[in-house]
Structure 1
Amino acid sequence: MKSHWMQMTETDTLLECRETEIPEPGPRQLLLRMHAAGLNRGEFVLGHGLHGKAGTWKQIGGEGAGEVLSTGKEVTGFKAGDKVMGRCAGAFSEYALMDLAEAMPKPDSLSWEEAACLPMTFLVAFDMLVLQGRLKAGEWILLNGASSGVGVAALQLGKAMGANVIGTSGSAEKLERLKGLGLDVALHTRAADFAADVMTATDQHGADLIINAVGGSVFAENIRAAAFEARLAIVGYVDGQLHGDFDLEAFHAKRLTLFGVSNKMRTKAQRAAAVPRFTSEVLPYFEAGTIKPQVDKQFDFEDLLAAKACMEAGHHAGKIVLRISAA
């Protein structure tokens, strides 16, 4: 089978498509014929440590959708021929193994490409909004970098849950597209200058849940934009700034909660723990058509390098997907 591998050095990433053996499923694994896989910025970011020691090669791809070819001897609930989606190591391959604990049935309402870009971003959004963010209907969400994959997922899930959403972006065109998904307030800016607009939009209440996918450059401004007892999630740092000014007095007085959203240090069991709740609480939104994953661009399997370049250029609003046709 064909499979994409990557070597991450201290300064760059190298991609290589190889011929490898089709893997055999372990006792609690599914062997999938992959149909599509979603790209995620974190797996290409230098210094994230997602690929082990610098200089080593690793199969890449973190989520996808495909058809079950065979199952391990301890697998229940899935059989050959089933259509599934989930987080999946080595997803940029014609065939891949998915752990049973990560597998979810693909809703018939979704295409392969839509299903492939759902697991990672929407599970992260579920973590941010529900598990840690404790979002309630009627609250205000502030999304820094609203057009990112995680930002769009948080927008859609937040609206489905009855929240009001404010989004920032440096692209007026992307913000206009997000209004069609329910974005209530669009702030066209990349700078840390949005707190006053957030306070005005919320009648001086502030944002109850803030999703920071930008980084340290907007951290202090987020504290200024926060409501009393707001929750602040750190999910990324595309600005490259890993430090931000921390107003301890404001943080203390407002009784704020700060939490990180990352799978980097979690065990497989910890990552999969939310899947049953996600399946029961969030998948019905997709089955009913309330939420539809936003596939911005699609690339053929052979064009991973072009897909990676597109992601790094930031020309998308939503997800980039790799189409896969197994031999």
Structure 2
Amino acid sequence: MQAWRVHRNGEPDEVMVLEETDRPTPGAGQVLLKVRAANINFPDALLCRGEYQVRPPLPFTPGVEVCGESEDGRRVLATPALPAGGLAQYVVADEAALLPAPEALGDAEAAALHIGYQTGWFGLHRRARLQQGETLLVHAAAGGVGSAAVQLGKAAGATVIGVVGGPGKAGIARELGCDLVIDRRSEDIVAAVKDATGGRGADVVYDPVGGEAYAKSVKCVAFEGRVVVVGFASGTIPTPALNHALVKNYAILGLHWGLYNTKDPAAVRACHDELSRLAAQGVVKPLISERVPMAQAAQAVQRVADGASTGRIVVLPDGGAR
């Protein structure tokens, strides 16, 4: 079978190599899946660089989530077992963690529903307890993680303010349903948020960026607001001033969604049921900006690494247009 493999750490388009290799063999409690669609995530770029919290042994195959087909014909969502990730024609995954692919979504959308939307749901509902009528500020609102949070925030009845970089991404954020879009390249985030909220600020901030985005967020978070730290796509991990959190009376909430798979798998399944219900109603639908063939996966991962993509890029190993 074909699989992209990384033999040394570096930039994705420099270290990812498409190779012929043997199909993986399922171990105890695992199943073999034919990959129908593999969604590219920012962690795939971090894995290539050797900067992710999990460092699989070299060589490894990136790809942390797929829509696949089991040998008995089930269409499922899975997080493949590294080092044999999802940018391959076949993967193995734990049977107990498989989730049924929503019937309302095609393979590409289904592949992109799992990690980003689960992260959004747990961040907004489990950690921040977002309430109807509150104001939600989403950074990188036109990206894969941010676009999911925008849709979930609107589904929860929140007023959603999206922060983006550039007019092209601003248009996408508006199409997603943002009530207000702020272009960080030409507008003052803090002033715009305060103006839109009558000086109160955002009740919940969803931050997958870190760095300057976090610094601006804590300047416009509301009384008893909650800042959900999801990731550091900027490459800069902020150092929170806890005296500032004390004086302004806001909470800083960390979210490591992967822990729920081991600590509370029942909650992950319940979340998937809710996401499937929302997908069936048309309330949420992953934003797929590109569907690329297997041969273009390395360049696609690089675009995600460079922040040049919007929504999700999905790899179709058999070249289909699902």
Is the 2:140–2:163 Cα contact (8 Å) retained in structure 1?
A: yes
Aligned to 1:84: 76
Q: CA deviation at 1:10?
A: 6.6
* Count of paired positions: 312
Give CA deviations for 1:201-234 in whole Å, capped at 9, x if unaligned. Answer: 1122211111122212232321111011111112
Matched, 1:48 2:48: no
Structure 1 residue matching 2:55: 3-state secondary structure: coil
Matched, 1:305 2:309: no
Distance 1:190 1:103, change over 3 A: farther
Is the 1:101–1:275 Cα contact (8 Å) retained in structure 2?
A: no
Matched, 1:7 2:7: yes
How many Å separate the matches in 2 of 1:267 and 1:281?
16
Q: 1:58 aligns with which of 57, 60, 76?
A: 60
Aligned to 2:17: 16
Matched, 1:216 2:211: yes
Q: CA deviation at 1:98?
A: 2.0
Q: 2:246 aligns with which of 226, 245, 252?
A: 252
Aligned to 2:200: 205
How many Å separate the matches in 1 of 2:92 and 2:306?
30
Is the 1:299–1:321 Cα contact (8 Å) retained in structure 2?
A: yes
Structure 1 residue matching 2:77: 3-state secondary structure: strand
Distance 1:258 1:276, change over 3 A: same
Structure 2 residue matching 1:58: 3-state secondary structure: coil
Letter of the 1:287 partner, please give it: A
Is the 2:122–2:257 Cα contact (8 Å) retained in structure 1?
A: no
Structure 2 residue matching 1:130: 3-state secondary structure: helix
How many Å separate the matches in 2 of 1:279 and 1:5?
30
How many Å separate the matches in 2 of 1:174 and 1:63?
25
Q: CA deviation at 1:27?
A: 3.7
Matched, 1:183 2:187: no
Distance 1:311 1:289, change over 3 A: same
Matched, 1:145 2:140: yes
How many Å separate the matches in 1 of 2:265 and 2:131?
24
Q: 1:98 aligns with which of 87, 93, 99?
A: 93
Q: CA deviation at 1:294?
A: 0.7
Q: CA deviation at 1:174?
A: 1.3
More helix by share: 2
Is the 1:51–1:58 Cα contact (8 Å) retained in structure 2?
A: no
Q: 1:124 aligns with which of 119, 124, 141?
A: 119
Aligned to 1:295: 288
Is the 2:118–2:257 Cα contact (8 Å) retained in structure 1?
A: no
Structure 2 residue matching 1:282: 3-state secondary structure: helix
Aligned to 1:172: 167
Distance 1:48 1:263, change over 3 A: farther
Where has structure 1 moved over 6 Å in runs of 4 or more?
Answer: none
How many Å separate the matches in 2 of 1:148 and 1:23?
32
Q: CA deviation at 1:259?
A: 1.9
Is the 2:164–2:183 Cα contact (8 Å) retained in structure 1?
A: yes
How many Å separate the matches in 1 of 2:179 and 2:312?
21
Is the 1:191–1:218 Cα contact (8 Å) retained in structure 2?
A: no
Q: RMSD over aligned Cα, in angstroms?
A: 2.3
How many Å separate the matches in 2 of 1:322 and 1:283?
22
Q: CA deviation at 1:312?
A: 2.8
How many Å separate the matches in 1 of 2:96 and 2:122?
17
Aligned to 1:76: none
Letter of the 2:19 partner, please give it: R
Is the 1:216–1:237 Cα contact (8 Å) retained in structure 2?
A: yes
Identity %: 29
Matched, 1:322 2:295: no
Distance 1:250 1:176, change over 3 A: same
